[in-house]
Amino acid sequence: MKFNTKVIHGGQEHDKAYGAVMPPIYQTSTYAQTTPGGHKGYEYSRTHNPTRNALENAFASIENGNYGLAFGSGLAAIDAIIKLLKPGDEVISTNDLYGGSFRLFTKIFQDFGIKFHFIGMQEASNIETFVNKNTKLIWVETPTNPMMNIIDIKAASKIAKANNILLAVDNTFATPYLQKPLDLGADIVMHSATKYLGGHSDAVMGALIVKDKDLANRLYFIQNASGAICGPQDSFLVLRGIKTLHVRMQRHCENGKAIAEFLVKHPKIENVYWPGFVNHPNHEIAKSQMKDFGGMISFTTKGNNYEEAIKTIENLKVFTLAESLGGVESLCGHPASMTHASIPKEEREKTGVVDSLIRLSVGIEDIEDLIVDLKQALG
Ligand SMILES: Cc1ncc(COP(=O)(O)O)c(C=O)c1O
């Protein structure tokens, strides 16, 4: 089945009771048993729920995986991955990453005796320098949030496999429409399904997808034992969102390209970060592992002026200033004070997250309205 068909049908069956085309929202915590253990495959909704299962099958299908798991948020999904580890284990992570992932790693799991190395991975060979006998996980975000760096997943996977290390990729920004990490050698794909997969800014959710049965079973155990699952209503919403992922992503990419090209020529802009530019340092890798370049763009205002950046943000009318990304509507954010506020200033500035940086999640509105909005905000 091709991707555009998978988003609609992948892993789905028509409802067995009445043939409903969409899986019903099974708003139930428990299931009747005729005798202890005499049930129809469902005992308790922390463990399994038919609506969540339909979504989990869709996750697996669109990422070319065998097993999908849905969680109450992206961070809950990441939390489950790190729970595969033990005290003394080490993780090598991209140094430019979502602030909440950094916070989870450094403020929670570091205290449990897990060591994290945050490194630049644009040269994948740099990963090798940090590998030792305790390394159990390589954590890759690509494109990175918010600097839009690109990490070579195939190269990272080669290093992971040679050293018997798990490779997990946060595929939130790219989505499987643009890039399929499992096909490139990753062991685990993670999503904040809150973003493009859901696509309508109406649900908070996380996803994990794997190919390996044993790894899936370990993660299912953690999902059930820790209990950070999502409810049936949100499962339904995200499943519905996935059905239009391909058409939404196509428009996100078209609008993203038009806006990146507009910004780069604007006299009031200093830097534009978007992997579609031929002079983006990782453009060739982006071209080889992504189908297109997405709708996420970061930029700084001329002279890296903080006040100018804030004024621009406040002037925007069609773009809404809000946390999050990946919805049909265009959003803008100020990473230093919003999504990345939990990263110390000197740490975030090392990777380029300066006070004048603005991040855009370009939506699927009419491109003329978006450009007019940016023009007036910058003007
Ligand atoms: C790249 C990335 N990963 C993970 C997360 C965390 O996901 P959630 O907010 O669904 O917990 C986010 C949230 O913004 C994100 O942008």
Domain 3-242 CATH assignment equals 3.40.640.10: yes
* Residue-level pLDDT at 151: 98
CATH annotation of 245-378:
3.90.1150.10
Ligand 1 centroid – CA 40 distance (Å)? 35
Residue of 1, 199, 167 whose CA lies nearest to 94:
167
Is residue 70 classed as helix, strand or coil in its secondary structure? strand
Q: 164: left (phi > 0), else alpha (psi -120 to 50), else beta?
A: left
CB 330 within 8 A of CB 316: no
> Strands 269-273 and 296-301: what pairing?
antiparallel
Q: How far apart are CA 325 and CA 170, in angstroms?
A: 14
CB of 90 closer than 6 angstroms to any ligand 1 atom? no
251-282 burial, b for 16+ CB within 10 Å, e for fewer?
bbbebbbebbebbeeeeebbbbbbbbbeebeb
CB of 121 closer than 6 angstroms to any ligand 1 atom? no
Catalytic site includes residue 98 = yes
pLDDT digits (tens, 9 = 90+) for 6-36: 999 999 998 888 999 999 999 999 999 999 9
CB 212 within 8 A of CB 235: no
Mutation to probe ligand 1, out of 103, 150, 195, 331 (largest number of atoms < 8 A from CB): 195
Ligand 1: which residue has its CA nearest to atom 15?
98
Q: How far apart are CA 43 and CA 55, in angstroms?
A: 18
For Cα atoms 146, 150, 152, give the angle at the middle one, nearest 5 degrees. Answer: 150
CB of 105 closer than 6 angstroms to any ligand 1 atom? no
Catalytic site includes residue 187 = no
* Residue-level pLDDT at 342: 82
Whether pTM > 0.95 for this model: the answer is yes
Same fold across 3-242 and 245-378? no
CB of 93 closer than 6 angstroms to any ligand 1 atom? no
DSSP line for 303-343: GG-HHHHHHHHHH-SSSEE-S---SSS-EEE-TTTTTTTTS
* Residue-level pLDDT at 304: 85
CB of 144 closer than 6 angstroms to any ligand 1 atom? no
- Selected catalytic residue, list 67, 98, 196, 273: 98
Neighbours of 29 (CB within 10 A): 11
Residues of the chain with pLDDT under 70: none
Q: How far apart are CA 33 and CA 303, in angstroms?
A: 68
Neighbours of 198 (CB within 10 A): 25
CB of 73 closer than 6 angstroms to any ligand 1 atom? yes
CB 244 within 8 A of CB 113: no
Catalytic site includes residue 348 = no
Question: Where along the chain do its domains lie?
Answer: 3-242, 245-378
